[in-house]
Chain A
Amino acid sequence: QKEVEQDPGPLSVPEGAIVSLNCTYSNSAFQYFMWYRQYSRKGPELLMYTYSSGNKEDGRFTAQVDKSSKYISLFIRDSQPSDSATYLCAMKPGGTYKYIFGTGTRLKVLA
């Protein structure tokens, strides 16, 4: 079993929809959580960075961390065709330097 599980998709939604992307993990020591967006043939772009549990909002993006359930989510409000990309979750324990990545979810926002 992988340490971080992420549904590969593809997930297709109409423009303007609320998108929910999720990752589950098995290592209870994970404390730092990140979400990246990656367009085809580009490097990952950092969207959200969260320490420990709770919610964090930035514009149309909201990240949630539920450590008791070992579950993290990224919500995208008012989704746009330009949001079509692969979304990667990443996480690591404190005091370590190696992030563990999910395999990524492909999102398609249809105009």
Chain B
Amino acid sequence: KAGVTQTPRYLIKTRGQQVTLSCSPISGHRSVSWYQQTPGQGLQFLFEYFSETQRNKGNFPGRFSGRQFSNSRSEMNVSTLELGDSALYLCASSFSQGGVDTEAFFGQGTRLTVV
């Protein structure tokens, strides 16, 4: 069974630009969560999607947005990039259906560098 796939693996962007990151969950998983990981803050929750609906959102500015498609694939977008947005962005998928919570599996992440 294929794991969680994130693309691209590395990105370098300039301040003020926008960026879109992609995540394909494990087959059959309908919940996709996004996290930002930095050395100073650790893993911080961005948002979670299930069946194309955002169910939960973390404490990030509106420049961070996401969406989920009918095939459960998800994208996150960061607009007007700032130097502080440089981080490893991680996507996690889980089964999470019918009130059953299961463990979350992570992808390898997209390392974003803003210059």
List residues of chain A with CB under 8 Å of any chain B CB.
32, 34, 36, 41-46, 49, 88, 90, 94-104
A-side contacts of B101, CB under 8 Å: 32, 94-95
What's the dominant secondary structure at chain A's contact region? Answer: loop
Apart from A43-B90, A97-B50, A97-B55: 17 A-B pairs, beta carbons within 8 A: A34-B104, A36-B106, A42-B108, A43-B106, A43-B108, A44-B106, A49-B102, A49-B103, A90-B43, A95-B99, A97-B33, A97-B56, A98-B48, A98-B56, A99-B45, A101-B42, A101-B43
List residues of chain B with CB under 8 Å of any chain A CB.
4, 6, 31, 33, 35, 42-43, 45, 48, 50, 55-56, 58, 90, 96, 99, 101-109, 111
Inter-chain CA distance A95–B100, complex, in Å, is 9
A-side contacts of B4, CB under 8 Å: 43
Q: Nearest chain-A residue to B4 (Cβ)?
A: A43
Inter-chain CA distance A44–B107, complex, in Å, is 8
Max chain B Cβ within 10 angstroms of own Cβ: one of A41, A43, A95:
A43
The 8 Å CB contact of B42, one of A49, A97, A104, is A104
Max chain B Cβ within 10 angstroms of own Cβ: one of A42, A88, A97, A103:
A97
A-side contacts of B104, CB under 8 Å: 34, 46, 90, 99
A-side contacts of B45, CB under 8 Å: 98-100
Inter-chain CA distance A88–B90, complex, in Å, is 14
In contact, B103 and A88 (Cβ under 8 angstroms): no
The 8 Å CB contact of B58, one of A34, A95, A98, is A98
Instruction: List 8 tightest A-B contacts by C-beta distance, closest first.
Output: A49-B103, A101-B43, A43-B106, A97-B48, A103-B42, A43-B108, A97-B56, A44-B106
